[in-house]
Amino acid sequence: MKEPLVKPLDKNATKEAIEMAKFYKETLGFTPNSLFTMMHRPRIARAFLEMNQAVMENKGRVTSSLKRLLAYLSSMTAGCRYCEAHAIRAAERYGSEEDKMNNIWDYKTYPAFTEAERAAFDLALAASAVPNAVTDDISERMRQHWDEGEVVEILGVIALFGYLNRWNDSMGTQLETPAIESGEKYLSKKGWEHEKHTY
């Protein structure tokens, strides 16, 4: 794309925009352009913020770092380079082990991953595919390793990033420099590049 479909609202345009920018600066270390395209309709941005906070809230065994790795796999499956970079940066900021970030695509056999994580990652890939590829086998393995509330948390992450993948890939949202740095550090060896998200 030659330019984003919609340019982000100025982060200082309104009091609400300033408050949202502050929240995301704390979580990602920068304010994402994606939120400020949503801010053209503030109710959408507010609803997304509430969903984001609810989904990413840490309730126990589905840790913050695991949620970000799920977000990465979901985004990689959907092909959204913007969200891949954001998810891997957030994984780094929320305590994911470098060993796991560097070997996430070998999760089926790499010894650092547990069977519970493998089941969740299989769900992420299958649920992010179009058409949906979740099977009885995947569902049964999830039930073996996670309780119903945990399954809801895990699928919440996958569904949240389904929304973000469509939003950012369709918008052609411009990648921020810190996200590019994280993408290049962890993902470039697997073929990640800026593609249409750099102008």
Block mean pLDDT (10 aa), the chain, length 199: 92 84 81 92 93 92 96 96 96 93 95 98 98 98 98 98 97 95 91 87
Is 199 within a domain? no
Return the pLDDT at 115.
Answer: 98
Is 23 within a domain? yes
Is 20 within a domain? yes
Is 170 within a domain? yes
Return the pLDDT at 18.
Answer: 85
**Tokens standing for residue 78:** 């959907």
Looking up residue 61, the CATH number of its domain turns out to be: 1.20.1290.10
The CA distances from residue 146 to 55, 105, 140, in Å, are: 16, 21, 10
Q: How far apart are CA 166 and CA 162, in angstroms?
A: 6
Is 62 within a domain? yes
Return the pLDDT at 124.
Answer: 98
Is 149 within a domain? yes
Number of domains in the chain: 1
Nearest alpha-carbon partner for 153 in 71, 94, 73, 90:
71
Is 4 within a domain? no
Is 142 within a domain? yes
Return the pLDDT at 179.
Answer: 94
Q: Which domain holds residue 76?
A: 16-194
B/e letters for 129-141, b = 16+ CB within 10 Å, e = fewer, are: eeeeebeeebeeb
